Amino acid sequence: MDNLMNYFKLLSDETRLRIMVILFHGEFCVCQLTGITGISQPNVSKHLARLRDMGLVKDERKEQYIFYSLNIKDKVFEDILIKIVDNIDNYPTLRLDIEKSKGAERYIELMEMKKQG
């Protein structure tokens, strides 16, 4: 029961819910999630850490970036997220995030250009 309560607490935060829905559609690095959501990098990283601590996301280093993806093993948790995604048209912010996620590669390109100065 505690695990279920913790899951709902995590999803009750708008930023974490947005991140979970985006990750439902693929793997993304922090700079991509920041670009998609418009939320600051430290804030996105903080929420990813909470989701990782709960075992709901996993990370994998690819070159200089760490990419995050869903790691939901509980069928109930997965079904809840699927229901949200299936009804995405009812949630304009989530729908916009998914639309922006289709061009997520450009956020890495922007980050590379900033590094080159």
Q: What is the CATH number of the domain that holds 38?
A: 1.10.10.10
How many domains does one find in the chain?
A: 1
**pLDDT of 13-61, one tens digit each?**
999 999 999 999 999 999 999 999 999 999 999 999 999 999 999 999 9
Q: Does the structure show a pLDDT above 90 at 116?
A: no
**What integer pLDDT is reported at residue 66 of this predicted model?**
94
**What integer pLDDT is reported at residue 115 of this predicted model?**
76
pTM: 0.90
**What integer pLDDT is reported at residue 45 of this predicted model?**
96
**What integer pLDDT is reported at residue 104 of this predicted model?**
86
C-alpha angle 78/83/84, rounded to 5°? 100
**What integer pLDDT is reported at residue 38 of this predicted model?**
96
Give the range of the structural domain holding residue 47, as residue numbers without chain letter: 2-116
What mean pLDDT comes out for the span 56-85? 93
E strand intervals along the chain = 28-29, 57-62, 65-70
With beta carbons less than 8 A apart as the criterion, state whether 3 and 74 touch.
Answer: yes
- The average confidence (pLDDT) of the chain is 92
Q: Does the structure show a pLDDT above 90 at 114?
A: no
Nearest residue to 77 via CA among 100, 51, 96, 39: 51
Q: To the nearest 5 percent, what fractions of the chain are helix, strand and coil?
A: 70, 10, 20
Region of 115 (left: φ > 0; alpha: ψ -120 to 50; beta: rest) is alpha
**What integer pLDDT is reported at residue 93 of this predicted model?**
97
